[in-house]
Amino acid sequence: MSANRAEKSASRAESGVRQMSSAAEASTLIRRAAEPYPAGDKIKAAIGRACRAVSDELKRAGFQPMDYGRAKRIWKQEARRVDPEELDAIRRAAREAASVEDARAEFQALLTRIVRCEEALRIQDADFFGVEIDARREALSALPGAMDRRLIP
């Protein structure tokens, strides 16, 4: 029996694969769940954001929400253990934060493409297309739920 254990630990060591503890993984992921970090953001605010995101995921799964102190202990890697349902909720919250960041990056790329297209049209015929572009921007900004014009570079 002890020879079998030695073989398993030797094979793990040889493979070079290190497994992260659930507490360390949870700490890394809960930080991702707090993203994006606004300029001048405080750690307390980031932990609060992460706590709310994880609590939402826990409630969806039918568990009690996470309190701020628990989120802070996980953030600082002071938690002695992380329950499987907490870790799953933290993973989902981190995944959601990453997808929001991806969507923002895609949105910013689209805005950049729109501006480049507008510039190309203005170069082609500024008298005609400049007026057309301004009129379309004005019409879009008047729509309910229209994007903020300050977002357009």
- Beta carbons of 26 and 90 less than 8 angstroms apart: yes
Give whichever of 88-92, 102-106, 113-117 has the largest mean pLDDT: 88-92
Work out the angle at residue 101's Cα, subtended by the Cα atoms of residues 19 and 112, and round it to the nearest 5 degrees: 140
Average pLDDT, the chain: 81
- Beta carbons of 48 and 72 less than 8 angstroms apart: no
29 C-beta neighbours (distance < 10 Å), count: 22
**89-99 pLDDT, tens digit each:** 999 999 999 88
Q: How far apart (Å, rounded) are the C-alpha atoms in residues 43 and 13? A: 37
Q: How far apart (Å, rounded) are the C-alpha atoms in residues 75 and 88? A: 15
pTM: predicted TM-score of the whole model, two decimal places: 0.60
**8-65 pLDDT, tens digit each:** 544 554 444 455 688 899 999 999 999 888 889 999 999 999 999 999 999 999 999 9
- Give the residue from 98, 24, 43, 90 showing the smallest Cα distance to 63: 90
